[in-house]
Structure 1
Amino acid sequence: MPGTLTDWAALMMAPRLGLMKALSLLQLASPSVLRQWALAGDLPGVSPATAQWLAYPDMARIDALLAWAEQPGQQIVTLDHPDYPQALRQIADPPLMLFVQGRVAALQGPALAMVGSRRATVAARERTAQWADQLASLGWVIVSGLAEGVDAQAHRGALRGGLTVAVVGSGLNHCYPRIHIALAEQIRHQGAMVSSFLPWQRPRREFFPQRNRVVSGLSYGTVVMEAGIKSGSLITARIAAEQGREVFAVPGSVDNPGCEGCHFLIKQGAKLAVDPVDIYEELLPMGAIRLAKPEAKAVSELPLPKLLDSVGYEATPVDVVVARSDLPVDIVLEQLLMLELEGRIAQVSGGYIRLRGG
């Protein structure tokens, strides 16, 4: 599918020409040949307005796009480009062009998507960062959508251990949500910011399903860390399954409505994951670059085991901890503080929760 960047841009920007129609045209000829057909008035299956645009596109808009790609650290990767991710090229509806800021090499994977609730619990956010760190250190490129909650923690954890890719639902001239401007800058330096939308396009609700398709399409597997039954993460998981990719779900408390989505996915056949080992052993044949089973950490005796056992993985009120442990209130409060300093529990609204590994 050879063609100049101008040819590809004209095809992408053509009015009333959807992605699937554009992909079907590319089965017939390259973008440059399609434009030649349009100039000759012989482009099949498109409206006169679309053919007119392809023959005589708005060069001011295309020149603006080319100027964007000339800026340091910015690149446009077309569907026929060697740097276009192979995993994404294999899905039924790959974007014609990817707009990239940062390290284009990060798109070569092997990649793993981590998604979940914007309002994730403290435990889920902690777990996401830990797992992303561990998986990134083993060679997986962690892909997510830069949203608050699980997405942001996936990026932050991966930045500690390796590479991460953020796929956004807007053009790269805009950061959404704006609270993640600093995080996006970190990702540009240690990974890549990616969009399938023109750089100047602002975030729109209808853009996010396409964003999710790219997140899962880039990845060998999608891990849902914590999600409610109506969460957008379940849509990403469904898309991943449709794309033939593995879907993993992390279980949580049956009393937490925010975990219902993960439990639903497990009942529907998603692979249950309680540790990163469940993920990388399943995906080992996919070929992550440095995959090696981590050495088992020495197991030390847990401090204050009686009190620790009294704190659940869901919010546990102090009076419940007192009743379960059968210890005086002053001792409970003192030992809860010690456990919190040890990083084994966390204080949340409604009491304390036990952190995984605690």
Structure 2
Amino acid sequence: MKKIFTMIIALALVPAFAAAQTTIARVVEQFKKGAVEEISTSKETDTDTDGKQCVYERNIFLVAKNSGKFKQLMDAFNDEQSNAYSVNKRMAGYDGSASRIGYGKNSEKTIVFMKYSDRNYFVLYFKDPADSKRRTCYALAWYEGKKGKKNKEMWCVDIIHVYSLNPEYVRSLPKTITKTTTTVNSDDTNTSITVNSDGTIIRYDRNTGNSIVYRPQDNKKASSIDVPIKNSGDFIQRFNDLRTEYIQVVQFAGKEQTFFANRIMPPVNKMLQLCREHGKLLLHNERLSCIGILDDMKQNARDKGIREMLNLAQTYLGGK
């Protein structure tokens, strides 16, 4: 297992913290104006018990790998890390545990960093020079995205800014986290996404008033995943359960399937394994039916990786 190096730096010069935050904020605003394409933006504001504003803001962009604006953003983080009281960096491919921070009125909401091993992370924490109970967090996450209109390699860049109470100073916290709500603006709908602590996800389309609910716990109860595959009936039951799970998460993801691929790929991978290991149990007409269903699933797949895995599943069933 590769090692992660985390630096924790404590400085006594309080004014430096304010200057660092201002510098990064300015460069972030410049980056927003010069980025190639904004994928989504989210913002929440709240007022804590002392009447001060808590802010959460997140922007995701698609930019060229050799973008000078992205280099300026990285330079700002590198320059200001010596002014942060905590610095957490991890490059893609390194193993390690996730890092959580609390925010909101009573630090009851949570953001998770270092969750994905294929992403690069750079997280800085600054004390508020005017109030020791509060701190600012700037987080940068980036990974290789899809190719742009001119077939250039692109970075998907995720920028997060949080100003809130420092959980270390919050005396009374709720025992459980009830929900985290994010508003996503994309070119297809104006959508509100709510993620509950039990994993339930509610996607609400503000334009139509329709809601889509994804409950992973329901899939687990209804799934045939623990039933041994001994005949074609077992195969088809498992196949249909995985297809149902796939449809639910694809509907949830909408046009942002690449960014929610971590939720879509598990049922796809299980279906691929099912076809590879047990496809021989099917009769000819059953094979053709499953291949046709996989064709329908591919039509709803906007992500290339998902389509390729479904193509491979068809190959194992004798498809083209």
Task: Quickly name the TM-score band, shorter chain normalised.
Answer: under 0.3
Greater fraction helix: 1
Name the TM-score, length of structure 2 as normaliser.
Answer: 0.28
Structure with greater proportional strand content: 2
* Structure exhibiting the larger radius of gyration computed from Cα positions: 1
TM-score when normalising by structure 1: 0.26
